[in-house]
Amino acid sequence: MIPATSMEPRPRDDELARSWARAIARTSYVSMSREELVTHLEQPARRLIAALAADDYDPRVPTEVGAGLVAAHFTHPSSLQRTLAVLGAQLAPAALAGQRLARLGELQGAVAAGYTQAMQDRALHEQEQIRTAVMDARAEADRARWASEARFQALFAEAAVGIGIATVDGRVIEVNRALCDMFGYSAEEMIEHVVADFVHPDDAPDVWRTYDDLATGRRDHFRMDKAYYRSDGQKIWTDLVVSLIRSQDGVPLFVVAMVEDITDRQRLQTQLRHQASHDPLTDLPNRTLFYDRLNAMLTDPPPGARVGLCYLDLDGFKAINDTFGHDVGDELLRTVAGRLAARLADDGHLVARTGGDEFVVLIGGSSGTQGLVAVAETALAAVRAPLDLDGHAIEISASLGLVERAATATTAAELMKAADTTLYWAKADGRDRWALFDTERYARDVSRYRLTSQLPEALAQGQFFLEYQPLVSLRDGTLTGVEALVRWRHPELGVLGPDQFIGLAEETGLIVALGRWVLGEACQQGQRWRVTHPHRDLLISVNLAVRQVRDPAIVTTVTEILDGSGLDPRWLQLELTESAVMATSGQPLQTLHALADLGARIAIDDFGTGYSNLAYLRDLPVGTLKLAGSFIAGLRHADRPDRVDREILSTLVRLAHTLDMTVTAEGVETADQADALRRLGCDTAQGWHYAAAGPAQSVTALLTR
Ligand code: C2E
Ligand code: CA
Ligand code: CA
């Protein structure tokens, strides 16, 4: 070995460090200032200089210096390159001088080797780091997925809502506890089934189509209320949400069903709906439900469809209620309702309670009045069966109005109005019966109603007028009097006879005012005839209705009218029917006496049609018997007269004469009748054989002749 001598120029480590620092400063990103770098490089510079000069060269020093560069993050390839260049340039003179150029080469090589090795180590380390980082990351992801799955599992298992997963062909593959509880099966039991096993027949009809749409991927979810069977056979109602799970490429895989038990809610709703449409007392359908059904039948009915209804009202229910109390009344309604429903509702008819003691049976699929009448008979029988209510044996009946017609031609309002009118007929015809709607009777009712409402106006407007029909002496054919008969010149209907409006005027009470007008008019005309024909005895006969006789003011009215017209009371005859005289005792009899006391003559009209009790009339101030036309009809043919009628008439006439009454025969139409009546001893006659009723002038003409 060659020993180092003091003559060798020895490089300065600080200069090397400075040059080195300058060369590599910008080659890599290192967070050191230039001064710090110089300081950092002084030690390796010193070690390299020492290694170059040392007698026993240690290659570990330059190797470590090379690695140190990497450790200090001078990792760019130019860092090494420049380092080697600086070392060459700075150390070459000393190496030359000490003949150690070879060692310098060796040293540079070792620096490069150390550097490269360090670089390799570092790459490996980094790879390892990345690998572990990746491993760590993967482990973390697994953990996260596991956590989310656990969360899902917990949710699925513990959810209050039932969840089931099935394959698209309906095989149940997973269910949670809530679903098991809801259906009353264990999870294992449920998984053995297919979805269809739980389906209740109360399904909405389009469920399966909807489900099919989902299973085949035409839709992704649906929601509906749906009924299922529980394991114990009970029905449950659910709010069902079904979603489809597809594979990544869109193929339907699973069906997830979220099932909420809404049986209680449904039950409450059903209960509320029931309450809104049923009568609380009888639990029958109420008005609302009845009208809903009826309107449904009348809206777009199939061709030929008919509708029939039976409107039922109990007879005398109010009296039972008042007599036995409301509890018994309620019990009665419940019993009747129960019977009607039991005997009729099963046949597809709707039995509803529409009001207090009113029920209605709506016929399902009516085929004509025959079926309707059968229903009515059944209903009548059901009501008639005796009842034992609270110890009271009660019998009750009902009246029924029946209407049956084509569904296209009517409305609910029309039907009910017709049924109401028809029910009224059943009541008016005597109760405990049915009446069937009849268009003609209804039209009559309607026109009667219209006429009734027009009566007061007609009187005020002077639409009434009188005709007079002669009363003729059977002995010599002379005119002895006239009967005043009222007519109504109706603005639209023409002249109406009294049969068309006197009854209406009696019902409404207008007869009192109308009768007063007739009396006044007849008395004035009578007085005119007295004035123009003072030597002719002419009785003015005026009809008095029952209502008029009962009017407390009648005597005053007659008095005032006689005074007003100036007619002597002995020329006035008042015609009263037997019922007006005999119906009630007391007041009318006093009235009769008072009227007779005025000086007017009293005639009994239509004798023979009512009570025909002559003995009763004996004590009354009656001057004339007017024999009803129906009696006289039997005398029409002289060759074969009705022997019995003739006997009766003969007896009547004799009795009347014994009681000082004169006898007038009404409705004398033929000469034969007139002859027969004359032979029987009748005093006066009235009828078309002599003259029909006519205007006052026609009587004036007779008087003048
Ligand atoms: P009534 O008092 O029995 O009057 C006689 C009815 O017989 C009249 O009918 C008359 O036209 C009709 N008649 C007369 N001759 C014959 C005949 O030969 N054959 C037949 N078949 N009939 C004959 P009208 O005018 O239609 O009167 C009907 C009823 O109306 C009367 O029956 C009377 O009860 C009532 N009435 C008429 N005017 C009044 C009135 O001013 N007040 C009241 N309260 N009732 C009246
Ligand atoms: Ca009369
Ligand atoms: Ca009469």
**pLDDT for the residue numbered 688:** 96
The pLDDT of 7-32, averaged and rounded, is 84
Hey, what are 684's tokens?
């006066």
Nearest ligand 1 atom to alpha carbon 577: 34
Ligand 1 pocket member 669 (CB < 6 A):
yes
**pLDDT for the residue numbered 1:** 41
What distance in angstroms lies between residue 456's CA and the mean position of ligand 3's atoms? Answer: 25
pLDDT band at 586 (very low <50, low <70, confident <90, very high): low
What distance in angstroms lies between residue 576's CA and the mean position of ligand 2's atoms? Answer: 8
User: Considering only 26-30, 421-425, 612-616, which range has the smallest mean pLDDT?
Assistant: 612-616
Nearest ligand 1 atom to alpha carbon 518: 41
To test the pocket of ligand 1, the residue of 666, 670, 686, 690 to mutate (highest count of ligand atoms within 8 Å of its CB) is: 666
What distance in angstroms lies between residue 555's CA and the mean position of ligand 1's atoms? Answer: 24
Ligand 1 pocket member 628 (CB < 6 A):
no
Cα separation, 117 vs 63, whole angstroms: 9
In 3D space, the residue among 701, 632, 705, 702 whose CA is nearest the CA of residue 673 turns out to be 632
24: left (phi over 0), alpha (psi -120 to 50) or beta: alpha
Ligand 1 pocket member 213 (CB < 6 A):
no
The residue among 630 and 62 whose pLDDT is bigger is: 62
What distance in angstroms lies between residue 508's CA and the mean position of ligand 2's atoms? Answer: 21
User: Could you tell me if 355 and 420 are in contact, meaning their C-beta atoms sit under 8 angstroms apart?
Assistant: no
**CB-based contacts of 489-496 (< 8 A; 24+ apart in sequence):** 489/463, 489/464, 489/465, 490/451, 490/454, 490/458, 490/463, 491/463, 496/451
**pLDDT for the residue numbered 314:** 97
What distance in angstroms lies between residue 210's CA and the mean position of ligand 1's atoms? Answer: 80
Q: Is the pLDDT of residue 588 over 70?
A: no
What distance in angstroms lies between residue 519's CA and the mean position of ligand 1's atoms? Answer: 15
The pLDDT of 557-567, averaged and rounded, is 97
**pLDDT for the residue numbered 497:** 95
| 211-234 residue pLDDT tens | 888 888 899 988 888 888 888 988
**pLDDT for the residue numbered 585:** 58
Cα separation, 153 vs 151, whole angstroms: 5
What distance in angstroms lies between residue 387's CA and the mean position of ligand 2's atoms? Answer: 50
**pLDDT for the residue numbered 587:** 65
Q: Which amino acid is at 433?
A: R
**pLDDT for the residue numbered 3:** 46
Please tell me the residue having the least CA distance from ligand 1 atom 35.
498
What distance in angstroms lies between residue 612's CA and the mean position of ligand 3's atoms? Answer: 14
In the chain, what's the furthest Cα-to-Cα distance?
204
Instruction: Give the β-pairing of 350-355 and 358-363.
Output: antiparallel
Ligand 1 pocket member 321 (CB < 6 A):
no
Mean pLDDT comparison of 273-277, 567-571, 581-585, highest-scoring range? 567-571
To test the pocket of ligand 1, the residue of 465, 468, 487, 502 to mutate (highest count of ligand atoms within 8 Å of its CB) is: 502
| 474-524 residue pLDDT tens | 999 999 999 999 999 999 889 999 999 999 999 999 999 999 999 999 999
Q: What ligand has the least distance to the C-alpha of 472? A: 1
**pLDDT for the residue numbered 583:** 56
Cα separation, 331 vs 110, whole angstroms: 122
User: Considering only 140-144, 379-383, 606-610, which range has the smallest mean pLDDT?
Assistant: 606-610
Q: Which residues contact 111 (CB under 8 A, 6 or more apart)?
A: 48, 62, 63, 65, 66, 69, 80, 83, 84, 87
What distance in angstroms lies between residue 483's CA and the mean position of ligand 3's atoms? Answer: 10
**pLDDT for the residue numbered 5:** 45
Q: Is the pLDDT of residue 572 over 50?
A: yes
User: Considering only 101-115, 213-227, 604-618, which range has the smallest mean pLDDT?
Assistant: 604-618
**pLDDT for the residue numbered 2:** 43
Please tell me the residue having the least CA distance from ligand 1 atom 11.
693
Ligand 1 pocket member 687 (CB < 6 A):
yes
Q: Is the pLDDT of residue 692 over 90?
A: yes
Q: What ligand has the least distance to the C-alpha of 575? A: 2
Ligand 1 pocket member 486 (CB < 6 A):
yes
| 44-102 residue pLDDT tens | 999 999 888 888 888 899 999 999 999 998 988 888 889 988 988 888 888 888 888 88
Ligand 1 pocket member 515 (CB < 6 A):
yes
What distance in angstroms lies between residue 543's CA and the mean position of ligand 2's atoms? Answer: 5
User: Could you tell me if 437 and 426 are in contact, meaning their C-beta atoms sit under 8 angstroms apart?
Assistant: no
Question: What is the value of pTM for the model shown?
Answer: 0.54
Q: Give DSSP secondary structure letters for 480-515.
A: EEEEEEEEEEETTTEEE-GGGTHHHHHHHTTHHHHH
Ligand 1 pocket member 606 (CB < 6 A):
yes
Q: What ligand has the least distance to the C-alpha of 686? A: 1
Ligand 1 pocket member 502 (CB < 6 A):
yes
What distance in angstroms lies between residue 488's CA and the mean position of ligand 1's atoms? Answer: 14
Q: What ligand has the least distance to the C-alpha of 667? A: 1
**pLDDT for the residue numbered 598:** 96
| 281-331 residue pLDDT tens | 999 999 999 999 999 999 999 999 999 999 999 999 999 999 889 999 999
Q: What is the mean pLDDT of the chain?
A: 90
User: Considering only 29-33, 550-554, 590-594, 677-681, which range has the smallest mean pLDDT?
Assistant: 29-33
Inter-CA distances, 179 with 105, 198, 228, Å: 85, 12, 12
Q: Give DSSP secondary structure letters for 497-566.
A: -GGGTHHHHHHHTTHHHHHHHHHHHHHHHHHHHHHH-TTS--EEEEE--HHHHH-TTHHHHHHHHHHHHT
Secondary structure class of 121 (helix, strand, coil): helix
The pLDDT of 679-704, averaged and rounded, is 96
pLDDT band at 106 (very low <50, low <70, confident <90, very high): confident
Q: Helices 412-428 and 439-460: crossing angle, nearest 10°?
A: 80
Q: Is the pLDDT of residue 6 over 50?
A: no
Nearest ligand 1 atom to alpha carbon 606: 3
The residue among 344 and 206 whose pLDDT is bigger is: 344
